[in-house]
């Protein structure tokens, strides 16, 4: 079967020796298949002379020209690629060099074979929605970005709790003192939100999870909202905060700032190996059904 991907770009984990080796190996493999791959310019620069045999390409060009982007690294590398190309749903394939790899599901050892199967049309496509987040100060927008995993309000370098007001679709929900709040997509429900005892949301669930961080109220529990909701977090004095987006971009917030989060119309398209199963992935990564150790 002829593959549909002719313009393929490779994106690697920044300054990773293992990543550089895998990027070059997959670039050579694609060349063997008659495809002229291009390497994201930051990745090519980090690899150095060994990447000079391949053309370098900026993220903006990948977003506008690529049929497929192969991301070599961990989930953080894929999240960054998704945010950088959010304006266009370039299909992404993740090769896992990280620890867990909820999104990068091709093992390094079998990356050549499984990438070949994907190029031959044997894959499972899946769309994941993103969050559109903006920070308003005195009626003006001071920060705007996208997030595939989560938006996190936290106390930054403070050694004490912060306080904020939560509104959903314009309705007051509560005022909370805590270490912060995680607003997570189903994709992000297995990231920081999971560590904070939030719910795991299947990717097919059109919901957004609100997960308080160490709330100063036993009744403040995680809540899952419809993906049509408009979430607003209003920062209250006296403390400033830091707002993180996918653990990469951030904005320093001040008392009175208003963080507004809605579902973005943009989506990320992931390509999984044939036979991919979300629950099998969770079993492996979270060690479900693992045998109990004997002492």
Task: Report the catalytic residues.
Answer: 75
SS (H, E, C) the chain: CCCCCCCEEEEECCCCHHHHHHHHHHHHHHHHCCCCCEEEHHHHHHHCHHHCCCEEECHHHHHHHCCEEEEEECHHHHHHHHHHCCCCCCCEEEEECCCCCCCCCEEHHHHHHHHHHHHCCCEEEEEEEEEEEEEEECCEEEEEEEECCEEEEECCCCCCCEEEEEEECCEEEEEEEECEEEEECCHHHHCHHHHCCCCCCCCCCCEEEEEEECCCCCCCCCEEEECCCCEEEEECCCCCEEEEECCCEEEEECCCCEEEEEEEEEEEEEEEECCCCHHHHHHHHHCCCCCCCCC
- Per DSSP, the residues of 63-95 read HHH-SEEEEEE-HHHHHHHHHHTTTS---EEEE
Query: Do the beta carbons of residue 112 and residue 23 sit within 8 Å?
Result: no
Cα distance between residue 122 and residue 118, in whole Å: 5
Cα distance between residue 169 and residue 173, in whole Å: 10
């Amino acid at each position: 079967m002829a593959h549909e991907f002719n313009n393929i770009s490779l994106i690697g984990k920044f300054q990773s020796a293992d990543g550089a080796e895998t990027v070059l190996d997959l670039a050579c493999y694609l060349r063997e298949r008659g495809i002229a791959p291009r390497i994201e310019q930051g990745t090519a620069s980090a690899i150095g002379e060994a990447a000079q045999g391949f053309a370098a390409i900026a993220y903006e060009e990948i977003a506008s020209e690529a049929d497929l982007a192969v991301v070599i690294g961990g989930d953080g590398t894929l999240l960054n690629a998704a945010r950088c190309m959010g304006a266009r749903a370039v299909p992404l394939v993740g090769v896992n060099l990280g620890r867990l790899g909820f999104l990068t599901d091709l093992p390094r050892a079998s990356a050549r074979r499984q990438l070949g199967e994907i190029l031959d049309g044997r894959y499972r496509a899946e769309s994941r929605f993103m969050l559109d987040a903006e920070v308003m100060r005195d009626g003006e927008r001071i920060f705007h970005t996208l997030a595939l995993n989560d938006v996190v309000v936290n106390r930054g370098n403070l050694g004490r709790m912060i306080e904020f007001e939560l509104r959903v679709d314009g309705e007051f929900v509560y005022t909370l003192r805590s270490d912060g709040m995680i607003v997570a997509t189903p994709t992000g429900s297995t990231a920081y939100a999971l560590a904070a005892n939030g719910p795991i949301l299947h990717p097919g669930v059109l919901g957004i999870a609100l997960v308080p961080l160490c709330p100063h109220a036993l009744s403040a529990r995680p809540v899952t909202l419809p993906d049509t909701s408009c979430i607003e977090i209003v920062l209250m004095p006296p403390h400033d905060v830091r707002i993180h987006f996918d653990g990469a971009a951030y904005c320093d917030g001040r008392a009175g700032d208003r963080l507004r989060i809605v579902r973005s119309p943009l989506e990320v398209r992931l390509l999984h190996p044939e036979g991919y199963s979300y629950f099998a992935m969770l079993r492996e990564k979270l060690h479900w059904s693992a045998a109990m150790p004997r002492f």
